[in-house]
Structure 1
Amino acid sequence: MKYLLVALPLMILSACEPPQGGEPVTRTRIDGQAEATPSPTPSETPLVASQVESACRSIIFEDTSLTHCLAVPSRHRIRMALASDEGVTYRSLSAYSRSRDPVEMAFAMNAGMYDEEGQPIGYFVVNSERLKALNTNDGEGNFHLKPNGVFFGTGDSWEIRTTEDFLANVSDRPEFGTQSGPMLVIDGKIHPEISQDGPSRLVRNGVGIDDRGRAHFVISNAPISFGKLARFYRDELKVSDALYLDGNVSGLWNPATDRLDTGAPIGPIVAVERKVSDDE
């Protein structure tokens, strides 16, 4: 499964990804195809990309194209999403995008592993309501490659902890939370079971928290190993903790650049919303 590659130099937060005015918008898809749709004219819909700066930047790391999206507590709020108010599980970023005003959104990604019905298999909290309890079971697959972990937060405070740490030290229910695995970086060190550059290569995404409390969401635009993704978090983003969210089904909705990835059904979604100031 492939993405379109964007040939850009390695620079963190270096350049926006907006399409050229008047040119067709290319939507990347999980299956590697591209579908061109005309850019809307001012008389049809607001040009979101011209009004809102993208929170996401395309970069190259060790010859692999990545998209790095930055959430800043002073400018963004984070929520989890799974289903509509009617209880219908979204199962895609396309369905979720139809429920939201794109001007309010910074970006959204898939955010954790799930069962055949799209329900999270680990801890999951939406609007302070716990939909799934913490999963401490042993098992096979990436989720159970321990230590796994929890990405969670309330208000402007966002954290990533290993599942064991979360169980031992977090007693208050957060406003949002999702459990996934494995951890990519733990206290500044790469997960002990992750090799330098293993044979498993998939489109993958993750999240990391830096020492300023900012959340770094990364999705590869081409197949990538666990080791390379973990190194990017440790060496380039300098985060102390990073959590793998998923692979193969990974997707991004970035309204500012009209990117809306499609593909296999997904489950949990993380939504990063813009905080609107009084003068906007």
Structure 2
Amino acid sequence: MKKLLLALAVLFASFSSAAADPRYTVVKVDLRTEKLELFLNDDTGVAFKRFDRLDAWLKAQHRQLGFAMNAGMYHADFAPVGLLVRDGREEAPLNLDSGAGNFFLKPNGVFLVSDAGPRVVESSEYPALAKGVRLATQSGPLLLRHGVLHPALIPHSDSRKIRNGVGVSGHVAVFVISETPVNFHEFALYFRDVLHCRDALYLDGTVSALRSPALHRSDFVRELGPILAVVSP
């Protein structure tokens, strides 16, 4: 946990400099040294919905929340729209349906963690990779696939929101939240050209939120569905 907090503090300092892009905050989690977990409901089946509730629940178990971000789109009852795998158990199935909204802007994708490390893949590729997956969440659109931007992203789109997403660089999961409204195209370019990620997935917009003690930050925008978090004993 000390290593993670130090890394976050250094990262925050670098991205707060004059040379950095103030539109984004970035948190990098090295899966070789830190364990990323996925949360939705407590022991009674009630959704956490907020970082402070998850934090209190973990503290009761003598565990500490080091970093958290909303993990993808969800229904009115807080159930995920697509795939959800926690601790190696599939709790919601892969959703390959067509529909309206960002989730269904194909290709959409899955962020997963296995013994081989983190990956972002196109949703239809997931079944062949499912064995051994410890954690997975599905969302859309897929911002980057092998370094190529999603074909539907419009360079000068006026659809601007606070957005968050996740990219992958080796064994590192790269979490990003925008600090000002940005469009999809700008968001994808930041992952590719600044953070040098070849694969990246949009998690959500408007409800995007980040918690990090190292950054002295715990956002509350509205109630959340699935939550990705780094937790220590």
Instruction: Tell me the TM-score normalised to structure 2 length.
Output: 0.89
- Larger helix fraction of residues: 2
Code of the residue aligned with 1:236 in structure 2: it is V
CA contact under 8 A between 1:93 and 1:251: conserved in structure 2? no
> Paired residue for 1:113, among 27, 49, 73?
73
Within the alignment, does 1:217 sit opposite 2:175 as a pair?
yes
Within the alignment, does 1:69 sit opposite 2:8 as a pair?
no
Q: 2:165 corresponds to which residue?
A: 206
Within the alignment, does 1:133 sit opposite 2:93 as a pair?
yes
Deviation per CA, 1:37-86: give whole Å up to 9, x if none.
xxxxxxxxxxx99x942525245899652110000122211111001112
> Paired residue for 1:166, among 112, 116, 126?
126
Mapped to 1, the partners of 2:86 and 2:148 lie a distance apart of 30
Deviation per CA, 1:3-40: give whole Å up to 9, x if none.
xxxxxxxxxxxxxxxxxxxxxxxxxxxxxxxxxxxxxx
Q: Secondary structure at the match of 2:181?
A: coil
> Paired residue for 2:42, among 70, 81, 84?
84
Q: Secondary structure at the match of 1:98?
A: helix
Deviation per CA, 1:148-167: give whole Å up to 9, x if none.
00001124611110001113
Mapped to 2, the partners of 1:99 and 1:147 lie a distance apart of 36
Length, aligned pairs only: 225
Q: 1:262 corresponds to which residue?
A: 220
Deviation per CA, 1:203-236: give whole Å up to 9, x if none.
10000001x2211000011111111110000101
Mapped to 1, the partners of 2:211 and 2:72 lie a distance apart of 16
Q: 2:6 corresponds to which residue?
A: 53
Q: Secondary structure at the match of 1:100?
A: helix
Quote how far apart the aligned CAs of 1:106 are.
Answer: 3.0
Gaps (5+ residues) in structure 2? none
Q: Secondary structure at the match of 2:58?
A: coil
Q: 2:149 corresponds to which residue?
A: 190
Matches within 5 A, 1:33-48: none
Q: Secondary structure at the match of 2:201?
A: strand
Moved over 4 A (4+): 59-64
Deviation per CA, 1:143-186: give whole Å up to 9, x if none.
0000000001124611110001113x224151111000000111
Q: Secondary structure at the match of 2:6?
A: coil
> Paired residue for 1:178, among 120, 137, 141?
137
CA contact under 8 A between 2:55 and 2:64: conserved in structure 1? no
Code of the residue aligned with 2:212 in structure 1: it is N
Identity rate of aligned residues, in percent? Answer: 34
Larger Rg: 1
CA contact under 8 A between 1:94 and 1:262: conserved in structure 2? no
Within the alignment, does 1:250 sit opposite 2:197 as a pair?
no
Quote how far apart the aligned CAs of 1:100 are.
Answer: 2.6
- Over aligned residues, Cα RMSD in angstroms? 2.3
Code of the residue aligned with 1:216 in structure 2: it is V
Code of the residue aligned with 1:143 in structure 2: it is F
Mapped to 1, the partners of 2:45 and 2:187 lie a distance apart of 34
CA contact under 8 A between 2:36 and 2:230: conserved in structure 1? yes
Quote how far apart the aligned CAs of 1:94 are.
Answer: 2.2
Mapped to 2, the partners of 1:108 and 1:171 lie a distance apart of 24
> Paired residue for 1:149, among 109, 113, 134?
109
